[in-house]
Amino acid sequence: MLRIVAWRIPQIAATLLLLSLAAYLAIGAMPGDPIALAMMADPRLGPADIERMRALHGLDQPLLARWWAWLSGVLRGEFGYSRLFARPAAEILWPALRGSLVLLGTALGLAALLGIAAGSLAALRPRWRGAVDALALVSQALPAFWLGILMIILFAVTLGWLPAGGAPDAPGMLEALRYIILPVATLAIAHLAAYARHTAASMAEVLRAPWITAARARGAPERRIALVHALPNAAVPLLSLLALDAGALVSGALITETVFARPGMGKLLTDAVMGNDHNLALLALLLVATTTLLATLAADLAQRALDPRLAERRA
C-alpha cells in the first residue's frame, strides 16, 4: 500500500506541474490583459507608461519565466490577490472548497445509495430491469443544468417550498438544509445512472458465482444471499467507478453551483474566468484538479484494500 502511495504521489505532482504550465499558457491567450484593461480605463496613459507598467509587473519577461515565478510563489504559500474580489486569493479559495466538498459529499452518498439500490433491484427482480434501464438512460441524457432549472421551476417557482438558489443568509442547520436540497438532488440524479448500471451488471455476475449456489444449497434465505453474500462482493468494482467518477463529479458541481448560484469551487472558477481574474482562475483550476486526483487515489487505495487480488496484480 505504501509503495503505491510512494509511486502515485510523484505522478500526481507531475500531472499538476504539467497542468499548471498548460493552463498558464491558455490563460495568456484569454482576452482581458490587465494592462490593456488599465489602458482602456485611463486614456491619458501613453506608450511609455505602458512599458513602465509592463516592466513593473514583470510582464516583459518571457512566458516561461513568469510561469516559474508564479509557481514558486504558490509553492511558498503566496497565493496572491484576486482582482475580482479585491481580497487575498486564499481567503476566497478555502471557503469555496469547503462549500463544494459538502455539496459533493452529500450528493455522492445519495447517488451511490440510490444507484446501488436500483441496480440491485434490476439484478434481483428481472421484472424491474426495463424500468431501471430506462431510468438510467433518462438520467444520463438529461443535461444537469436543465434538470436544475426544472427543479427551480417546480419547487421554487410553482410550489414555493424551497429557495431558488444562493447561500443561506440566516445561520442554522435547518436553513442550510433548505438551500442544499435542490442542488444535491440535481447532482445526485445526474450521477445515479452510472451507479445503477454498474451495480446491475456486477450483481448479475456475482449471482452466477459458485459460492452463491453453495449458499442456496445450504438453505440460506434469499434475502441473506442478496444482502450478505452478493452485495458486498458486487460493490468492490463500484469503487473503481467512484475513482473514475471523481472528475465528472467536480464537473457536475460546476454546473449545479452555477445554476443555483451556490458558492463553491465551480462557481468561483467560472466567475474568475468570466471576470478576467487570471490568478484566481489558475488557482481554482489547480485546486480542483488536486482534489480530483487525491479523490481518485483514495478510491483506488480503498479498492485495493477490499480486493487483495488487485494488490497482487500490479503493486
Binding site for another protein (CB under 8 A): 15, 18-19, 23, 26-27, 29-31, 137-138, 140-146, 149-150, 152-153, 157-158, 164, 246-248, 250-252, 254-255, 258-259, 266, 269-270, 273-274, 281, 284-285, 288-289, 292-293, 296
User: Looking at beta carbons only, is 108 or 225 nearer to another protein?
Assistant: 108
> What is the three-class DSSP state of 77?
coil
Q: What minimum distance in Å lies between the beta carbon of 33 and another protein?
A: 10
Query: DSSP states of 197-210 as a string?
Result: HHHHHHHHHHHTSH
Instruction: Please name which of 193, 180, 1 lies closest in space to residue 99, comparing C-alpha atoms.
Output: 180
Which cell numbers in the block locate residue 96?
Answer: 469555496
Integer Rg of the chain from CA: 24
Give the DSSP H/E element, type plus range, for residue 88.
strand 87-88
Which cell numbers in the block locate residue 160?
Answer: 414555493
Q: What minimum distance in Å lies between the beta carbon of 50 and another protein?
A: 19
Q: What minimum distance in Å lies between the beta carbon of 24 and another protein?
A: 11
Whole-angstrom distance, CA of residue 297 vs CA of residue 314: 15
Which cell numbers in the block locate residue 163?
Answer: 429557495
Q: What minimum distance in Å lies between the beta carbon of 153 and another protein?
A: 5
User: Looking at beta carbons only, is 156 or 220 nearer to another protein?
Assistant: 156
User: Looking at beta carbons only, is 58 or 143 nearer to another protein?
Assistant: 143
Cα dihedral 305, 308, 311, 312, rounded to 10, equals: 160
**163, 156 contact by CB (below 8 A):** yes
The size of the chain, in residues, is 315
User: Looking at beta carbons only, is 31 or 43 nearer to another protein?
Assistant: 31
User: Looking at beta carbons only, is 121 or 152 nearer to another protein?
Assistant: 152
User: Looking at beta carbons only, is 131 or 227 nearer to another protein?
Assistant: 131
User: Looking at beta carbons only, is 199 or 258 nearer to another protein?
Assistant: 258
Q: What minimum distance in Å lies between the beta carbon of 178 and another protein?
A: 18
In angstroms, the Cα distances linking 284 to 93, 104, 186 are 7, 16, 23
One-letter amino acid identity for 307? D
